[in-house]
Amino acid sequence: MNEPAIPKDIAITFLRLVASGKVREAYDKYIAPGFRHHNPYFPGDAESLMAAMEESAAKNPGKTFEVQRALQDGSLVVVHSRVRQNPSDRGAAVVHLFRFEGGRIAEMWDVGQALPENSPNEHGMF
């Protein structure tokens, strides 16, 4: 199987691997040296976020990740997705923003919003 070379494809593959529990494989293949992230709940280094992702994968083996749309502008990639921690979870809308250097993920931001049970918006979150 060929490795993705386009940043948008790399970002999606990275997220799919992480969601499926293959966190170390995702980091080994796609994270750049000196990677940093901006998740406010963890220290900003690669190891801290990787440990949190591994813990989440272990707690939620039924997690699903569905890409809704992905955009690329040069070295920046945005992936809008629906994430469910388990089959009965309503899920959340999650947006990941990646910055690439040398074909690898150098920086990442993520924001999420839980899907409400009832919403007055007839268009939904996806």
Q: Is 126 within the bounds of a domain?
A: no
CA angle 118, 124, 126 (to 5 degrees): 135
CATH code where residue 11 lies: 3.10.450.50
pLDDT of residue 5: 87
pLDDT tens digits along 29-45? 999 999 999 999 999 99
Q: Whole-prediction pTM value?
A: 0.93
Q: Is 119 within the bounds of a domain?
A: no
pLDDT tens digits along 80-116? 999 999 999 999 999 999 999 999 999 999 999 999 9
Q: Is 120 within the bounds of a domain?
A: no
Range of the domain at 35: 7-114
Instruction: Report the domain count for the chain.
Output: 1
Instruction: State whether residue 10 is helix, strand or coil.
Output: helix
In whole angstroms, give the CA distance from residue 62 to residue 53: 14
Q: Is 121 within the bounds of a domain?
A: no
Instruction: State whether residue 99 is helix, strand or coil.
Output: strand
